[in-house]
Amino acid sequence: MLVDDEASIRRVLSMILERAGYEVVTEADLRGGTRRCSEPGWEVILTDLILPDGNGIELMRCMRQRGSMVPVIAITGEPNLDTAIEAVRLGAYDYVSKPIRSETLLRVVERAVERYRLYRENERYKHHLERLVEERTGELMASERRYRELIEGAPEMIHQLDEEGRFLTVNRTQLETLGYRLEELLQRPLAAICPEDQADRVAEHLRRIREEGRSELATQFVRRDGSRLDVEIRASAVYDEDGSFLLSRGFAHDTTRRRRLEMQLIQADKLSTIGLMVSGVAHDVNNPLTGIAGYAEMLLAQGGLTPELESSLRFIYSEAERAGRIVGNLLSFVRQKEGERDFFDLHATIDAVLELMGYRLRKAKVEVERRFDPAMPALFGDMHQIQQVLLNLVNNAVQAMAEVEGARRLRLATRVAGGEACVEVADTGKGIEGRDLANIFDPFFTTKGEGEGTGLGLSITKAAVEAHGGR
């Protein structure tokens, strides 16, 4: 577009430009120029600096306000340096002075058009890149979201570690399984949630990941509450484009249930062997034991014995009775037959057990406390099995307090929670060593002195409780 108030100038310049292949639109004043400058398609605008209703500077300002980047060439009748500098300062791409030579005009216009076309090409390319970046960013965000949803929704525990073995990310399953919050694990080492005695194995696991690219580790995780679970970790290294170690990604599978089943299979195999043995010899052992106990009791009943002989006979009788109980416990343990089930009163059963144990409790000077939940309903099960469970627990409690000086208290409490009947048997004994807790339900495991226990009481108790759907 050409804006000039002189018709002769408009005519001559239009002719020069049209011969060079340009399409030219002319306007005679500022008003016409400002009206049409925002129309699309202009590649260059030539304007006289002095117009009848304003000046070319106002046209430039109007274009810039409308966001137009079309180059403006100023036409001036005063060919001096100050005028040229002022025109360029005010936004002109270049200027030509009157009288205008055709070569100069075409050179300046060609340069301006080329610059504007390059600008438009750059803008198109920039917009194309921005669109590509936006699309790729959206794809990456969607991919990251899908990946995060996959990781968060995975049933396995998943974590990422840095080169030093510190947590970078931890998925929801691992957090919920261990009871931690995310901020409690981030930047903490993997060894922090493993038992202290596993530190060397964890360090070796991390070394293999860095040096060999993958590793597997069977260990334990320590929950926030201090309890433990068995896990198997399968981990692999992630490298950057240069092949440098970036991070490791680990998948931890809870093997606690599997290990428990494996132990149950081992126990079942043991019990099968024991059962065959016990079933085979129980009858043959019980018969002579009955005879020994019977004759000892008969001799004691005759009287007239020396103190030494009476003491020996009582010892023979008690040991025969103890041997009989051992055989009976073995038979109960290996058979574990389910008795008849019916509704029974739990509190009445506890009272009956305490009555049976009354003499021992009084002799041991044990104070008994009952805390019964009045909302406890009638329970359905084998009352005799539950009675045996309670007898075993109370008997263990009395034995645990035997060496305690001072007050000896036994508390039996019941409560209804979550649709389950809970029974608590607590005593003031010295307790069980932490290292023994994992083994207390194993058959024949006992912490009692020689001759004081068979190691079957808690095994029988656990089996009976689990047979009733308890734990």
Three-state secondary structure of 323-354: HHHHHHHHHHHHHCCCCCCEEECHHHHHHHHH
Position 412 confidence tier, pLDDT thresholds 50, 70, 90: very high
Mean confidence (pLDDT) of the chain: 83
CATH code reported for the domain at 260-335: 1.10.287.130
- Across 106-110, 169-173, 185-189, 400-404, least confident range: 400-404
Q: Give residue 268's pLDDT.
A: 60
pLDDT(13) > 90 = yes
Q: Give residue 234's pLDDT.
A: 94
Write down the CATH superfamily of domain 2-123: Response regulator (3.40.50.2300)
Strand-strand pairing, 420-427 and 379-381: unpaired
Domain(s) labelled CATH 1.10.287.130 in the chain stretch across: 260-335
DSSP 267: H
Specify the amino acid at residue 205.
Answer: H
378-389: pLDDT as tens digits: 999 888 788 888
Q: Give residue 327's pLDDT.
A: 74
Q: Which two tokens stand for residue 323?
A: 């041997």
pLDDT(374) > 90 = yes
Strand partners, 287: none
Q: Give residue 409's pLDDT.
A: 92
CATH code reported for the domain at 342-467: 3.30.565.10
What average pLDDT does this structure show over 9-35?
91
C-beta separation of 183 from 165 below 8 A = no
Q: Is the peptide bond before 52 cis (omega within 30 degrees of 0)?
A: no
- Across 277-291, 305-319, 411-425, least confident range: 277-291
Position 143 confidence tier, pLDDT thresholds 50, 70, 90: low
What average pLDDT does this structure show over 414-426?
91
Q: Give residue 164's pLDDT.
A: 92
Which CATH code of 3.40.50.20, 3.30.2310.20, 3.30.450.20, 3.40.50.2300 fits the domain covering 154-254?
Answer: 3.30.450.20
Which secondary structure element, helix H or strand E, spans residue 420, and what is its range?
A: strand 420-427
DSSP 49: S
Q: Under DSSP, is residue 316 helix (H, G, I), strand (E, B) or coil?
A: helix
Q: Under DSSP, is residue 216 helix (H, G, I), strand (E, B) or coil?
A: strand
Q: Give residue 218's pLDDT.
A: 92
CA distances from 219 to 176, 200, 214, 231 (A): 19, 11, 16, 6
Specify the amino acid at residue 223.
Answer: R
CA distances from 306 to 302, 315, 404 (A): 12, 14, 35
161 or 145, which is more confident: 161
464 or 120, which is more confident: 120
Q: Give residue 191's pLDDT.
A: 93
Strand-strand pairing, 167-170 and 157-161: antiparallel
Tell me how far apart the terminal alpha carbons of the chain are, to the nearest angstrom. Answer: 93
Position 445 confidence tier, pLDDT thresholds 50, 70, 90: low
For 145-154, which contacts have Cβ atoms below 8 Å and span 24 or more sequence positions? none
Q: Which two tokens stand for residue 54?
A: 């304003």
DSSP 166: B
Percent of the chain with pLDDT over 70: 83
Name the E strands within 39-180.
45-48, 50-51, 54-55, 72-76, 94-97, 157-161, 167-170
Q: Give residue 283's pLDDT.
A: 65
- In whole angstroms, what is the distance from residue 158 CA to residue 250 CA? 6
Instruction: Name the most confidently modeled range: 31-35, 301-305, 437-441.
Output: 31-35
197-209: pLDDT as tens digits: 999 999 999 999 9
DSSP 288-310: HHHHHHHHHHHHHHH----HHHH
Q: Which among 338, 136, 151 has a CA at the least distance from the CA of 250? A: 151
pLDDT(107) > 90 = yes
pLDDT(146) > 70 = no
Position 321 confidence tier, pLDDT thresholds 50, 70, 90: confident
137 or 392, which is more confident: 392
pLDDT(41) > 90 = no
Strand partners, 161: 167, 248
- In whole angstroms, what is the distance from residue 353 CA to residue 110 CA? 112
For tokens 């010295």, name the residue. 430
Name the E strands within 23-132.
26-27, 45-48, 50-51, 54-55, 72-76, 94-97
Position 1 confidence tier, pLDDT thresholds 50, 70, 90: very high
- In whole angstroms, what is the distance from residue 16 CA to residue 66 CA? 29
pLDDT(345) > 90 = yes
Q: Give residue 221's pLDDT.
A: 93
Q: Which among 464, 468, 466, 446 has a CA at the least distance from the CA of 455? A: 446
pLDDT(415) > 70 = yes
pLDDT(133) > 80 = yes
50-70: pLDDT as tens digits: 888 888 888 888 888 888 888
Strand-strand pairing, 379-381 and 342-344: antiparallel
Specify the amino acid at residue 148.
Answer: R
Q: Give residue 265's pLDDT.
A: 62
> How distant is the alpha carbon of residue 97 from its chain centre?
76
Which secondary structure element, helix H or strand E, spans residue 36, and what is its range?
A: helix 30-36
Q: Give residue 442's pLDDT.
A: 67
Domain(s) labelled CATH 3.40.50.2300 in the chain stretch across: 2-123
- In whole angstroms, what is the distance from residue 122 CA to residue 267 CA? 78
pLDDT(447) > 90 = no
- In whole angstroms, what is the distance from residue 319 CA to residue 313 CA? 10
Q: Give residue 123's pLDDT.
A: 87
Q: Which two tokens stand for residue 331?
A: 């038979």
